[in-house]
Homo-oligomer: A and B are copies of this chain.
């Protein structure tokens, strides 16, 4: 395997590991360990880490190594604010600028997503879903919106991984609905129907948002309130 390929492999592999929470937010990355794992020397591995930093996957600290970028309460709030606007813009532009080969790519990604729904792991689903939306970003073909869109996709995948519970049957229905929305999105984009694309972006976002909200603010358990521990009182 060529060195350049090994670099690409390391990049893709690390991205996937971060997207699927295989590498936890905030966890430290051992430079030497990664070098051994991907059979690269430190120089190219450090370049990979710089690239990941540029795309928001990791943060680099002076003299203190790389760590997987955090997902905090604050960033979740920022995510909720930014996502609906950017998602709407991307799908609208995708419907305008999509090319035929891109539509083929999108259909392929959707088939992979549907396959992952029935037989894949939670991580495989998240990656397939992420790939679907990445392609819509490529279709939009706007270098000024792309960086924020991709940053949103990263944390969207991670948030979904955090909250997804395969035992919940309501979850199963939601995922099936999301899959059908993907089909509708493909149809709208193919037809260059920008109005419909924006509406679908909104519906798809709300579905995802509500799923997340339910886990952040679950239904009450109807139990008596506890009392705060001594130290926490005023």
The chain A residues found within 8 Å of chain B, CB to CB, are 4, 43, 46-47, 50-51, 53-56, 62, 75, 78-79, 81-83, 85-86, 89, 93, 141-149, 151-152, 155
Contacts and interface: CB of A to CB of B under 8 A. Distances in A.
Which 3 residue pairs of A and B lie closest in terms of their CB atoms, listed nearest first? A54-B54, A147-B147, A148-B148
Nearest to A43: B43
B4 A62 contact: yes
Chain A interface mostly: helix
B43 A78 contact: no
Nearest to A53: B54
Contact of A144 (B4, B43, B89, B148): B148
A107 to B, nearest CB: 25
A75 B151 CA distance: 20
Contact of A50 (B50, B86, B141): B50
B43 A54 contact: no
Nearest to A152: B144
12 contacts: A4-B62, A50-B50, A50-B51, A53-B54, A56-B143, A56-B147, A78-B142, A81-B142, A82-B142, A85-B89, A86-B145, A86-B148
B78 A144 contact: yes
Given A4-B62, A53-B54, A55-B54, A82 B47 contact: no
